[in-house]
């Protein structure tokens, strides 16, 4: 039988992508393996999984030989490729005792044996019917930006993904939020029947996958697939109802102060913001935006009890009344990196809106001293050098969370919970425990199958031993 040939030049990047869905802490040995298969047409594909996600890559050129499937540990392949030249190849041969990996060793071939794993051990890769939906580069960009704004808090599981809102057939949205800032993009419509929540994963942000041609999307009510020219990513969707994100978007007509930045100078402005003094680098990295006399000023200070340092922003166009607002500088830099060159401000405590055409980012403001809770009775807010002709406003009340997701969070910490909210918290706790239980049951089921197979094999061996003993006992000496 012809062995499967894996060119090192293709195998190294392939193993990097496959490794992004392999869980090194998994208790199931099969999840540490890569499925290597050669189809009847000669195409060679490699697949890895953590049960919830599947990643498959197809090699560039088909090869001769019959259809064949073997399983090889991912770390064993990685170790062998490290010691091979880019122009070499690994040869995988199927033998009755298990796969054998052959590699160049001086003028001969070295061998590395692989423990035999039955074909039934590896989980079945889901297959989604229907036509794939092309995702143009601009839409792919919006998905990445939404992923970067999604929550990483495991207690807010439904926010740990990118939401494709298909509720309006004429205007779909890409949404991502962590409750403190929210990103949305529209100006497109996809032939989707239902909304989709794509789990955030390192693989979707991996450079190799993003440089492998146009993305295409398939989805049903439980599973989503994103594929490129050679790669295919399949994942379970995040279950649950995404919160009503539209109610957090401020009415554009309420904003009276608008700042328009020069799109060609956003990168320089980001560097300027990073050089601004910061008095709370471990917390919110507070920075201020002040619109005064038609000019935009950045506010920062080194220590909390010092006055604010003001730095003018050239080439910024300000329209509307004077305004002052504070926000985390990382979110300000993120909005500029996204090319959101227009800033709309309602007041000091309302969410501010960064936008450009069909994309926008909504950010909850901070108090002038960078706190997100009420100051103590003896604590005074950090001084802000306002013009003498204007009264100094009292400290703003703490901003409320942008999204209060009933499926993942309760009320704010300073507010007493109602019996209904306490009951919701209990149901969330039960949900989390059930999810853990389902995962454990799934692992247990696979282990029991393996034990059952081993027991059957042992029973056959014992029967053979008994038969041999009976034959020996029947011999006449």
Q: Residue length, the chain?
A: 477
Which range (22-26, 189-193, 456-460) has the least confidence? Answer: 456-460
What is the enclosing helix (H) or strand (E) of 464? helix 419-473
Neighbours of 211 (CB within 10 A): 9
Secondary structure of residue 453 in the 3-state scheme: helix
Measured CA to CA in angstroms, residue 468 lies from 5, 372, 456, 459 at distances of: 43, 79, 18, 14
Which range (105-109, 178-182, 280-284) has the least confidence? Answer: 105-109
pLDDT bracket for residue 448 (50, 70, 90): confident
The reported pLDDT for the residue numbered 12 is 95
Question: Tokens 């003018």 sit at which residue?
Answer: 312
Model-level pTM?
0.75
pLDDT bracket for residue 119 (50, 70, 90): confident
426-439 pLDDT, tens digit each: 776 676 667 666 65
End-to-end CA separation in angstroms for the chain: 48
What is the rounded distance in angstroms from the CA atom of residue 380 to the CA atom of residue 220? 55
Which range (64-73, 299-308, 384-393, 442-451) has the least confidence? Answer: 384-393
pLDDT bracket for residue 410 (50, 70, 90): very low
Assess whether pLDDT exceeds 50 at residue 386: no
pLDDT bracket for residue 371 (50, 70, 90): low
Average pLDDT over residues 446-456: 68
Assess whether pLDDT exceeds 90 at residue 287: yes
> What rounded mean pLDDT belongs to the chain?
85
What is the rounded distance in angstroms from the CA atom of residue 262 to the CA atom of residue 269? 9
Strand partners, 226: 217, 233
146-192 pLDDT, tens digit each: 999 999 998 999 999 999 999 998 899 999 999 999 999 998 889 99
pLDDT bracket for residue 193 (50, 70, 90): confident
The reported pLDDT for the residue numbered 26 is 86
Rounding to the nearest 10 degrees, give the CA dihedral for residues 61, 66, 68, 73: -50
Assess whether pLDDT exceeds 60 at residue 475: no
The reported pLDDT for the residue numbered 398 is 54
Average pLDDT over residues 75-102: 91
pLDDT bracket for residue 412 (50, 70, 90): very low
What is the rounded distance in angstroms from the CA atom of residue 7 to the CA atom of residue 46? 13
**Contact criterion met (CB below 8 Å) for 363 and 331:** yes
The reported pLDDT for the residue numbered 424 is 66
């Amino acid at each position: 039988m012809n062995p499967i040939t894996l060119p090192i030049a293709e195998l190294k990047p392939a193993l990097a992508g496959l490794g992004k869905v392999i869980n090194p802490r998994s208790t199931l040995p099969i999840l540490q393996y890569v499925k290597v298969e050669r189809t009847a047409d000669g195409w060679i594909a490699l697949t890895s999984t953590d049960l919830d996600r599947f990643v498959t890559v197809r090699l560039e050129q088909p090869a001769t030989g019959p259809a064949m499937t073997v399983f090889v540990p991912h770390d064993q392949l990685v170790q062998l490729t490290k010691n091979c030249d880019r122009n070499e190849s690994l040869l995988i041969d199927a033998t009755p005792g298990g796969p054998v990996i052959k590699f160049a060793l001086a003028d001969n071939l070295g061998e590395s044996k692989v423990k035999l794993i039955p074909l039934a051990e590896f989980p079945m890769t889901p297959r989604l019917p229907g036509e794939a939906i092309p995702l143009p580069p601009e839409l792919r960009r919006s998905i990445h930006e939404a992923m970067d704004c999604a929550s990483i808090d495991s207690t807010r599981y439904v926010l740990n993904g990118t939401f494709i809102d298909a509720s309006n057939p004429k205007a779909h949205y890409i949404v991502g939020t962590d409750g403190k800032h929210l990103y949305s993009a529209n100006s497109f419509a996809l032939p989707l029947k239902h909304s989709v929540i794509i789990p955030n994963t390192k693989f979707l942000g991996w450079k190799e996958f993003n440089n492998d041609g146009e993305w295409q999307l398939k989805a049903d009510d439980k599973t989503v697939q994103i594929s490129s020219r050679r790669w295919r990513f399949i994942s379970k969707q995040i279950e649950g109802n995404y919160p009503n994100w539209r109610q957090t978007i401020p009415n554009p007509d309420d904003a009276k102060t608008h700042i328009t930045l020069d799109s060609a100078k956003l990168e320089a402005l980001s560097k300027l913001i990073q050089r601004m003094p910061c008095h709370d680098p471990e917390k919110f990295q507070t920075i201020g935006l002040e619109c005064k006399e038609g000019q935009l000023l950045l506010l920062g200070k080194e220590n909390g009890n010092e006055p604010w340092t003001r730095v003018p922003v050239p080439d910024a166009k300000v329209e509307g009344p004077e305004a002052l607002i504070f926000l985390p500088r990382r979110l300000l830099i993120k909005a500029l990196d996204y090319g959101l060159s227009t800033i709309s401000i309602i007041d000091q405590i309302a969410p501010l809106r960064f936008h450009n055409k069909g994309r926008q980012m909504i950010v909850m403001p901070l108090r002038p001293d960078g706190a997100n809770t009420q100051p103590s009775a003896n604590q005074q807010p950090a001084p802000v050098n306002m013009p003498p002709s204007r009264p100094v406003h009292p400290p703003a009340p703490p901003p409320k969370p942008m999204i209060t997701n009933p499926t993942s969070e309760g009320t704010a910490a300073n507010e007493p919970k109602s019996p209904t909210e306490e009951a919701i918290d209990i149901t969330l706790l039960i949900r989390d425990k059930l999810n853990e239980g389902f995962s454990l049951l799934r692992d247990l089921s696979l282990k029991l199958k393996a034990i059952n197979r081993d027991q059957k094999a042992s029973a056959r061996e014992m029967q053979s031993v008994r038969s041999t003993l009976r034959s020996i006992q029947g011999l006449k000496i």
